[in-house]
Amino acid sequence: MLLADRKLLITGVLTPQSIAFASAQVAQEQGAEIVLTGFGRAMSITEKTARRLPDPPDVLEMDANDPAQIAAVADELGRRWGRLDGFLHAIAFAPTDALGGNFLATPIESALTAFQTSAYSLKAVAAAMLPLMRERGGAIVSLDFDATKAWPLYDWMGVAKAALEAVNRYLARDLGRYGIRANCVSAGPLRTMAAKGIPGYDDLASVWGRRAPLGWDITDPEPVGRAVAFLLSDWARGITGEIVHVDGGFHAMGTDLAPPGGGEPAR
């Protein structure tokens, strides 16, 4: 099994549709022992969702913007396991006035909230977990939405994702000496709670089906969960500072695909 004997922290499980839920499920199926984090008023929802995993894991409270809560999670994992082999960062938030086509009017406070919660927090969690990972090495994976392009509606979350990609590269630079890898998975659109918070997200999702050569199911986060498991495993031991696209191939196409019968490429 890909993750046998691995001790992993999985953040960001909210509902069974969460990308982190699919990642947690695949990780358990591949032999990992996991602990989840939830936060604030959503803790009880995360606890309920956790019970739907094959082997219901414990849920610790961790607001990614609260250094004391992050430190408390690191302490608890140290007591429990004495080490950590990797973690998934599946955390993002932007206030409504930082999304939805309001780019030019977004106040600095909202842009900073998006940056802190969605990008800086990757560094915050990595730094707190370092003492648990530096002896044996490990893997950090975060969830990205292709930040090399401007998207309709994504606005300051897109800027925050560009920062996340950069944070990932700097973590790769600074943690490689400990045998710790850092990689992003750039996912296609998936219908999760976070996505529902972005007005018009379904329109973006419908474009995906016309361009992704493999097709794309916005209700199926499992392909992303599998890539997360791969990057958390030793099979990816030569990969760091990378952004792996799990988007049905959308990012590699210049335009929508020709409709059937309208000039399909020869096979």
Ligand X SMILES: NC(=O)c1ccc[n+]([C@@H]2O[C@H](COP(=O)([O-])OP(=O)(O)OC[C@H]3O[C@@H](n4cnc5c(N)ncnc54)[C@H](O)[C@@H]3O)[C@@H](O)[C@H]2O)c1
Of the two residues 30 and 65, which places its CB atom closer to ligand X in the complex?
Answer: 65
- Taking the C-alpha atoms of residue 78 and residue 179, their distance in angstroms, rounded to an integer, is 19
To the nearest whole angstrom, how small is the minimum distance from the Cβ of residue 135 to ligand X? 27
To the nearest whole angstrom, how small is the minimum distance from the Cβ of residue 5 to ligand X? 26
Of the two residues 81 and 120, which places its CB atom closer to ligand X in the complex?
Answer: 120
Q: Please give the residue ranges that form the binding site for ligand X (CB under 6 A).
A: 12-15, 18-20, 39, 42, 62-65, 90-93, 117, 143-145, 187, 189-190, 192-195
Q: Which residues are catalytic?
A: 154, 161
- Taking the C-alpha atoms of residue 60 and residue 114, their distance in angstroms, rounded to an integer, is 23
- Taking the C-alpha atoms of residue 201 and residue 189, their distance in angstroms, rounded to an integer, is 8
Residue 178 CB neighbours (<10 A): 14
8 Å CB contact between 10 and 85: no
DSSP assignments along 214-243, one per residue: T---TT--HHHHHHHHHHHSGGGTT--SEE
To the nearest whole angstrom, how small is the minimum distance from the Cβ of residue 164 to ligand X? 8
Run of H or E residues at 211: helix 201-211
To the nearest whole angstrom, how small is the minimum distance from the Cβ of residue 25 to ligand X? 13
Of the two residues 167 and 187, which places its CB atom closer to ligand X in the complex?
Answer: 187
- Taking the C-alpha atoms of residue 75 and residue 9, their distance in angstroms, rounded to an integer, is 13
- Taking the C-alpha atoms of residue 136 and residue 77, their distance in angstroms, rounded to an integer, is 15
Give the up-direction half-sphere exposure of residue 259: CA atoms within 13 A in the CB hemisphere: 0
Closest CA to 50 of 38, 41, 62, 40: 38
Closest CA to 140 of 165, 163, 168, 120: 168
Of the two residues 193 and 258, which places its CB atom closer to ligand X in the complex?
Answer: 193
To the nearest whole angstrom, how small is the minimum distance from the Cβ of residue 97 to ligand X? 16
Question: Which residues share a beta bridge with 245?
Answer: 186
To the nearest whole angstrom, how small is the minimum distance from the Cβ of residue 62 to ligand X? 6
Of the two residues 18 and 183, which places its CB atom closer to ligand X in the complex?
Answer: 18
Of the two residues 8 and 20, which places its CB atom closer to ligand X in the complex?
Answer: 20
Instruction: Name the amino acid, one letter, at 266.
Output: A
